[in-house]
Structure 1
Amino acid sequence: MLGNIRPALAPLFAAVLAATCLVAPARAMVSSGGASASVDVPVASVLAVSIDGLNPRAIRELGRDRAPTLHRLIDEGASTMNARTARELTTTLPNHTGMLTSRRVNADRGGHGVTWNDDRLRPRTVHAAAGETVRSAFSVVHDETRPTALFASKTKFTLFKRSWRSKIDRFTVRENNALLMRRVRGDLLNNDRAFRFVHFSKPDVVGHDRGFLSPAYLDAVADVDRLLGRLIAAIEADPVLKNGLVLIVTADHGGKGHSHSDPTRYANYRVPFMAWGPGVAADADLYELNPHYASPGTSRTTYATTPPPIRNGAIANLVTDLLGLGPVPGSQRQFNKAQDLDLN
């Protein structure tokens, strides 16, 4: 049965089959950190996708006909259209740093310190911005000798390669989103990796130029929906990926008009958060699955809000949890440090 499975993953795939098919599901305790896994059995791989500038309204306005992939993730996975960005800033680089580290922004409060949103070379690393060594999901996964990759469509993401150079096995930047998708697809089909992070920029680029929620912006979201659909098709064509990979989709910020820089604006700080794959509940609301988190309505919320909202910065600790690893060292309670964001 395992003859066609990639050798590096055959033992883990066999274990997953045994756990899911031969015994009744039980909440698995991870080996480091002692937190309960977000799915019944830790998976072999996680693909996290950030769609830059994805206002959840776009998913509704496009509907199932023009955004079939995103609606499929809602129907077949666990999701919310009312997650939150970092409180401090609703810009690209600070929020992606939060996704990778599960930290807030402000360095004087234990955050990652990345407050800029351009290609500057000083501070040169996230560590320099924070004034201390900052671990990431790449750090935790790679330290377990499990390969990683980062695919981005903005050159400013080289900050992450400089910061975690030895922890990111493949780093690719292509501003053309379709070309980037082809690179990701090829990597999925030809390489065994535990964690891949992918960034699609087109909705944000078009939003700044033509207006967020404009017809041109909605077309851009529909284009990325098609690219995401091709990645899912590649996953479903490979039995190892289909049975062992969880997909996470979120955004760094929303947007309205030609901007998203005002962190007090609802259209900017509200983002979607979706998960899909083996062990993930189908057609489930993430807040209903997680009563220890609370949907914040239209409120911006503070980091002291209890129960907290689900934030895009939960990704790093969700990734490590899904892979059966402990939380990212230095991460924060408001960003799933307890690894208690459940997907089933």
Structure 2
Amino acid sequence: MKANRVIIIGIDGAGNFIKDAETPRIHALLERGAYSYEAQTVFPSISAECWGSLLYGVGPDKHGINNDKASRETVPSNFPYSSLFGLSRAQWPEAPLAAFSCWEPINTGIIEANLDVHCVSKTDPELAKDIVAYIRSTPEFKLMFIQFDLPDAAGHAHGFGTPGQIKQIEQTDPYIGMIEDALREEGLLEDTLVILVSDHGGGGTHPNDHGSDHPMDMTITWGAAGYGVQAGAIDGPVSIMDTAVVAARALGLPERSDWEGRLPKGV
């Protein structure tokens, strides 16, 4: 038994500050699944390193992707690791796969090129509308990755975990509602696994920055809800690298022996 599709919703820079925000749709999604506000990201706690670890299931010391490389280079053809998109394309040569990322280097420098992934890079509000349109027009998709960026920008502008950033996290909440509503209205919600995760927090060593191993930078929100997941808070360690394992297990993809993630207890 497996899910028919997986959606990974990434909220950049939101750390575990989500727990302090008035986000009814995010909290409802997490609470109908397995979740933790004490999950851990990788060091250095920087976007490309973190999103790369989520998609490839290994740490930055292995995948070697960073912000500079992702902004300038594509993943080389001889790359020794395979992302969730690479595994999905090998499993389903013709299936629709999609990535909607406000921060364009995810689409161009973290996800492998030449996989025929439908990639869109726009601002968060426009991105949300395009995601809904894609769900309605292409219900047969197997894997979708989403990255909303404005909470990270607000953290850099106002300070991570401050009211200014919390407000932006709250303004992101309706986008999650739009996605869930579209899935429900198209009859797709019941056999979809939705994973919601932040890539890093911030404010640990500098109020307006991240990248350190301070708990404020390293502690993130992680949750999986939907097909095959029982509800409840996860009582145990969770890593951002576990995302690859959970998504692969849900889709029936072959799990790689080099993955450093695992299936969190309770998921």
**Which TM-score applies when normalising by structure 2?**
0.91
Q: Residues 198-256 of structure 1, C-alpha deviation per residue, up to 9 Å, x if partnerless?
A: 000010011101111222211110011111111111111121x1221110001110112
Q: Give the aligned partner of residue 90 of structure 2.
A: 143
Give distance in 1, aligned partners of 2:115 and 2:41.
25
Residue correspondence of structure 1 range 141-180 to structure 2 within 5 A: 141-145=88-92, 146-160=95-109, 164-174=112-122, 176-180=123-127
CA offsets 1:263-296 (integer angstroms, 9 cap, x no match) = x2100000011111122212x1223xxxxxx3xx
3-state SS of paired residue (2:147)? strand
Contact 2:18 2:221 (C-alpha < 8 Å) held by counterparts: no
TM-score normalised by L of structure 1: 0.71
- Which residue in the other structure is 2:199 paired with? 252
Aligned 8 A contact 1:127 1:134 in 2: no
Q: Supply the distance in 2 between the matched residues of 1:342 and 1:76 (Cα, whole angstroms).
A: 16
Output the CA distance in 1 between the equivalents of 2:170 and 2:137.
27
Instruction: Map Cα deviations across residues 67-121 of structure 1 (whole Å, 9 max, x no partner).
Output: 10121023211101111111x3100011101111101111xxxx10113357642
Residue 267 (structure 1) aligned with residue 195 (structure 2): no
| Greater C-alpha Rg | 1
The answer as to whether partners of 1:135 and 1:330 remain within 8 angstroms in 2 is no
| Structure with larger RCO (C-alpha < 8 A, sep 6+) | 2
Q: Aligned residue for 1:38?
A: none
Unaligned runs of 5+ in 1: 1-40, 288-293, 295-308
In structure 2, the CA distance between the partners of 1:189 and 1:143, relative to structure 1 (3 Å rule), is: same
**Aligned residue number for residue 277 of structure 1:** 226
Asked whether the 8 Å contact 1:126–1:134 carries over to 2, the reply is no
Give the secondary-structure state (helix, strand or coil) at the position aligned to 2:98.
strand
Equivalent positions of 1:36-185 (< 5 A) are: 41-56=1-16, 58-62=17-21, 66-86=22-42, 88-106=43-61, 111-117=62-68, 120-121=71-72, 124-127=73-76, 132-145=79-92, 146-160=95-109, 164-174=112-122, 176-185=123-132
Change (3 A) 1:153 1:168: same
Which structure 1 residue ranges, 4+ long, deviate > 4 Å from structure 2? Answer: none
Contact 1:113–1:126 (Cα < 8 Å) also in 2: no
Q: How many residues align?
A: 261
Give 5+ residue unaligned stretches, structure 2.
none
Q: 1:223 aligns with which of 165, 171, 174?
A: 171
RMSD of the alignment, in Å? 1.9
- Alignment partner of 1:214 out of 158, 162, 170: 162
SS at match of 2:120: strand
Identity level (%): 20
- Structure 1 CA distance for aligned equivalents of residues 109 and 248 of structure 2: 18
On the 8 A contact 1:101/1:136 being kept in 2, the answer is yes
Change (3 A) 1:135 1:252: same
